[in-house]
Amino acid sequence: MNQQTAKSDEDMERRLAAYVGRQYGAIYAWDRVNAPMIRHWAEALDYDYPLLDPEIAKSTRHRELVAPASMLQVWLMPGLKNQRLPVLTCPTPRTFQDSGRARLYRHHRNGLRPGIFPRPLKVGELITTSTIVEKVSERKNTRLGPGYFTTFLQEYHDEQGGVVGTMRLRILRYHPEGQRLKQLPARPAPPQPGISQDTAQFWEGLKQNKLLIQKCSDCGTLIHPPEPVCRNCQSLDLGTIEASGKGTVFSFVVAHHPKVAAFDYPHPIGLVELDEGVRIVAPLTGVDPGEIEIGMKVVVEFDNVEGQNRLPKFRPS
Ligand code: ZN
């Protein structure tokens, strides 16, 4: 570390230390504690919250719906547009961050310690939060780079000023110096199919550039994807025929998002009705996604990449 860097580190440490013990906030919740938010939250977390049933809520010692304690932070979330209803009495966390931004421009949430919830929140209550910068560590050399652990104490209050919850949050702000830029991995292989006893014949056929379709030996029904039992007559006697590979686009989608690294985007995927009468899902190739039309004639071709399962795809014929 040269002299100038050491001096600016000292400067920054002094400025960071000045925030310790200071409080910012209060910040008001946008909405009072309310049942719809509790219900949406429980749904989003797949949490079958029993008190949403009014009968059960009445039978508890609270005698009414109360919000789950673990939902405390939700009432103060700034939302997608990062909007708040602040009543500021002290510097905001933004100011705190700015003082270190020039040199510490990444942060890592180091841990949210279990909160303390003296009492549950009732529907209709309005809460506020305030935060105290409790502690800034000395400079630490971490695996991510040199930085400082900062501990924030968040207190939640009701309208009478009573504490309804406290939480501690520790954040590492660090400079990623010395971190090697990670090399981008080579393009990964596409996800490989799950092959079962029932579908093995189909995948074996592809190895020989054959599109094999399951056919019931008893009633002649064609089945795709392959199944263990004929869907028409429940026969277990199932064979295959080789399809011509010709068909028409019955339907299609053009995938844009989310992207899987193995594929090019936009990624058109067709539901192709084979001339034999069954439908098969496979990528469409050799056509601009904007030009694909339902009813378009297509023909199969086979992807052959060393070490991977051969996959069918269809291009305009
Ligand atoms: Zn059958």
Tokens 């209550």: give the residue.
125
Judge whether residue 263 has pLDDT over 60.
Answer: yes
> Range of 74's domain?
3-182
For 180-210, write each residue's pLDDT tens digit. 445 455 677 777 788 888 889 999 999 999 9
Whether 142 is covered by a domain: the verdict is: yes
- Whether the Cβ atoms of residue 63 and residue 126 lie closer than 8 Å to each other: no
259-263: average pLDDT: 82
Q: Are residues 306 and 173 in the same domain?
A: no
Q: How far is the CA of 73 from the centre of ligand 1 (A)?
A: 58
Q: Are residues 32 and 129 in the same domain?
A: yes
Whether 188 is covered by a domain: the verdict is: no
pLDDT of res. 245: 96
User: Among 221, 219, 222, 220, which residue's Cα sits nearest to residue 211?
Assistant: 222
- In angstroms, the CA 179 to CA 177 distance is 5
pLDDT of res. 87: 53
Q: How confident is the model at residue 108 (pLDDT cuts 50, 70, 90)?
A: low
User: What percent of the chain lies above the pLDDT cut of 90?
Assistant: 37
Tokens 């069918």: give the residue.
312
For 144-167, write each residue's pLDDT tens digit. 778 888 888 888 988 888 888 888
For 124-146, write each residue's pLDDT tens digit. 999 988 888 888 888 888 877 78
* SS3 per residue for 17-68: HCCCCCEEEEEECCCCCCHHHHHHHHHHCCCCCHHHCHHHHHHCCCCCCEEC
The tally of domains found in the chain comes to: 3
Whether 64 is covered by a domain: the verdict is: yes
Q: Are residues 125 and 234 in the same domain?
A: no
CATH code at 250? Answer: 2.40.50.840
Judge whether residue 302 has pLDDT over 60.
Answer: yes
Q: Are residues 248 and 238 in the same domain?
A: no
Q: Are residues 249 and 231 in the same domain?
A: no
Q: Are residues 19 and 81 in the same domain?
A: yes
Q: Are residues 36 and 157 in the same domain?
A: yes
284-310: average pLDDT: 90
Whether 158 is covered by a domain: the verdict is: yes
Q: Are residues 30 and 114 in the same domain?
A: yes
Q: How far is the CA of 10 from the centre of ligand 1 (A)?
A: 81
pTM of the model: 0.47
Q: Are residues 88 and 136 in the same domain?
A: yes
Q: How far is the CA of 213 from the centre of ligand 1 (A)?
A: 14
Q: Which residues surround ligand 1, an ion (CB under 5 A)?
A: 216, 218-219, 221, 230, 232-233, 235
Q: How far is the CA of 277 from the centre of ligand 1 (A)?
A: 15
Q: Are residues 135 and 147 in the same domain?
A: yes
